[in-house]
Amino acid sequence: MAAEFKEISPNATAGEKLGNWFNNRFPSAGESLRYHVTEYYAPKNFNFWYFFGSLALLVLVIQIVTGIFLVMHYKPDANLAFASVEYIMRDVPWGWLVRYMHSTGASAFFVVVYLHMFKSLIYGSYRKPRELVWIFGCTIFLTLMAEAFMGYLLPWGQMSYWGAQVIVNLFSAIPFIGPDLALLIRGDYVVSDATLNRFFSFHVIAVPLVLLGLVVAHLLALHDVGSNNPDGVEIKGPNAPRDEKGRPLDGIPFHPYYTVHDIMGVAVFLALFSAVIFFAPEFGGYFLEYNNFIPADPLKTPAHIAPVWYFTPFYSMLRAITSEMMYALVLCVLAAAAFGVLRSRMSPIGKGAVVLGAAVAIALMLAIDAKFWGVVVMGGAVIILFFLPWLDASPVKSIRYRPQWHKWMYGLFVVNFLVLGYLGVQPPSPLGERVSQIGTLFYFGFFLLMPWWSRLGAFKPVPERITFAAH
């Protein structure tokens, strides 16, 4: 059945007539705008930590737009790729600006995503009913890592070439299927023109489409269950206070309040973003490595190969898994199995299954090369984030109402992550290896022991309504 057209006064302005004409022919657009923006009620106590979600969306737009202009001049050919990037930098009008916006944008993307994830961590935004929102977010993070890795090869510089060579070769450590999988990814026996074309296709077309779909799913899931807030109090729950029209009393419309509020975050971000682009686009070699300004040479290996800074915490965990470290991991498995058998209330069959599982795990750990387990640890460091909603057993969501020592725990986690990131860009050393091994154990211990430590301590009472001071 056709929708009824709404009439408008003949004295209406031209803009009102145009709007009415559009709404009569596309009413679902107006309904979506109202549901997701103008009539979407968000908690009124958002602080600066809530800037980073909108900033991530802004950087995504910057990356897509600058990527389109770069593709106009880039040549995905092993003989021409490096020269085409130099052509963009030197001869294309404003090409240097577009290229630096894209390279700086890649690092900016990870900065805001890491901060956005940390906000979710401290305020419990992954807890019920937002588990699916968190899972979509972690999938975005994983997809973003794939997008960045594939894009990193495209300049075809020394670090791009050898970084891709090292990372792709890691897949060959997987038993049985590893060599064939690495060959499939490269499209050749070494990183070559075939690899460049594959990575270009995925970086420009396939992965961005997946990324956009996940971002839409993330936002839709968020708006269906509602946004969290620094207090962790549900403003749309069954017992939440509402006005006579059913609107939450502790919420305000996203537009115009938070659209204007986010402008401040955007202004500060763009100021910092512009400062980096115009004054330090290489950022001391962290955003653009100096070796990447040298054409790729398959016959000359750089003295030290390291990935870009946003991968280095995970790369550091990879390097931490040595043959010696495997014995420490075996002890961890033994301790976990003993704890499960002695302290749990499982049936004898369940305890037997735990012992058998531990024995199989230890046998595999000792039989398979440590290089493979390094790859497992590196991948597991990301995958474990997906299980966070079920690992956190705290009776409250927000860090505001947790014991004081929980804040120190989260602080140590951040420091540990930064130290792992720093060690990942440094050449291997005995001291760095030891520190990265301790840091890897702490990283996984933070999550795997969370069901235990997150319940400990004296928790503060959570208010029935959100705390808010006008400013």
Domain for residue 445, yes or no? yes
pLDDT value, residue 1? 45
pLDDT value, residue 470? 66
Tell whether 243 and 321 lie within a shared domain: no
Tell whether 320 and 270 lie within a shared domain: no
Domain for residue 356, yes or no? yes
Domain for residue 11, yes or no? no
pLDDT value, residue 142? 96
Q: What angle do CA 77, 81, 87 make, to 5 degrees?
A: 135
Annotation: binding site for heme b: 102, 116, 203, 218
Tell whether 269 and 364 lie within a shared domain: no
Instruction: State how far the Cα of 309 lies from the Cα of 317, in Å rounded to an integer.
Output: 14
Among 236, 264, 284, the domain boundary falls at 284
Go through 233-270 and write b for each residue having 16 or more CB atoms within 10 A of its CB, e for each that does not. bbbbeeebeeeeeeebebbbbbbeebeebbeebeeebe
What six digits make up the tokens of 156?
A: 């075809």
pLDDT value, residue 417? 97
Q: Where are the strands (E) in 18-62, listed by range?
A: 41-43
Which contacts (CB < 8 Å, 24+ apart) does range 175-184 have?
A: 175/368, 175/372, 178/372
What six digits make up the tokens of 55?
A: 């900033």
Domain for residue 277, yes or no? yes
Q: What is the pLDDT along the chain (471 residues), one digit of tens a residue?
A: 455 677 787 888 888 888 888 888 888 877 888 778 778 888 988 989 999 999 999 999 999 999 999 999 999 999 999 999 999 999 999 999 999 999 999 999 999 999 999 999 999 999 999 999 999 999 999 999 999 999 999 999 999 999 899 889 888 888 888 899 999 999 988 899 999 999 999 999 999 999 999 999 999 999 999 899 999 888 887 777 888 777 888 888 888 888 898 999 999 999 999 999 999 999 988 899 888 899 999 888 888 888 899 999 999 999 999 988 988 888 988 888 887 777 767 777 777 888 888 888 888 888 888 888 999 999 999 999 999 999 999 999 999 999 999 999 999 999 999 999 999 999 989 999 999 999 999 999 999 999 999 999 999 999 888 887 765
Tell whether 346 and 241 lie within a shared domain: no
Tell whether 202 and 63 lie within a shared domain: yes
Tell whether 266 and 386 lie within a shared domain: no
pLDDT value, residue 102? 96
State how far the alpha carbon of 317 is from the alpha carbons of 162, 188, 437, in Å.
19, 28, 7
Tell whether 207 and 341 lie within a shared domain: no
Among the listed residues 378, 374, 363, the one whose alpha carbon sits nearest the alpha carbon of residue 333: 363
Q: Where are the strands (E) in 215-305, listed by range?
A: 251-253
Tell whether 269 and 351 lie within a shared domain: no
What pTM was computed for the model?
A: 0.92
Helix (H, G, I), strand (E, B) or coil at 86: helix
Tell whether 358 and 410 lie within a shared domain: yes
**DSSP-assigned letter for residue 402:** S
> Could you tell me the residue range of the domain that residue 446 belongs to?
312-453
Domain for residue 292, yes or no? no
What CATH number does the domain containing 35 carry?
Answer: 1.20.810.10
Helix (H, G, I), strand (E, B) or coil at 101: helix
Annotation: binding site for a ubiquinone: 223
Annotation: binding site: 102, 116, 203, 218, 223
Tell whether 268 and 332 lie within a shared domain: no
Q: Are strands 41-43 and 251-253 parallel, antiparallel or unpaired?
A: antiparallel
Tell whether 278 and 317 lie within a shared domain: no
pLDDT value, residue 228? 92
pLDDT value, residue 393? 93
Domain for residue 18, yes or no? no
Kindly report the backbone phi and psi dihedral angles of residue 132, in degrees, each rounded to the nearest multiple of 5, phi listed first. -70, -35
**3-state SS, one letter per residue, for 293-343:** HCECCCCCCCCCCCCCHHHHHHHHHHHHCCHHHHHHHHHHHHHHHHHHHHH
Tell whether 189 and 279 lie within a shared domain: yes
Q: How many CA atoms lie within 13 A of 229 on its CB side?
A: 21
Domain for residue 222, yes or no? yes
Q: How many domains is the chain built from?
A: 2
Contact 367, 106 (CB under 8 A): no
Domain for residue 303, yes or no? no
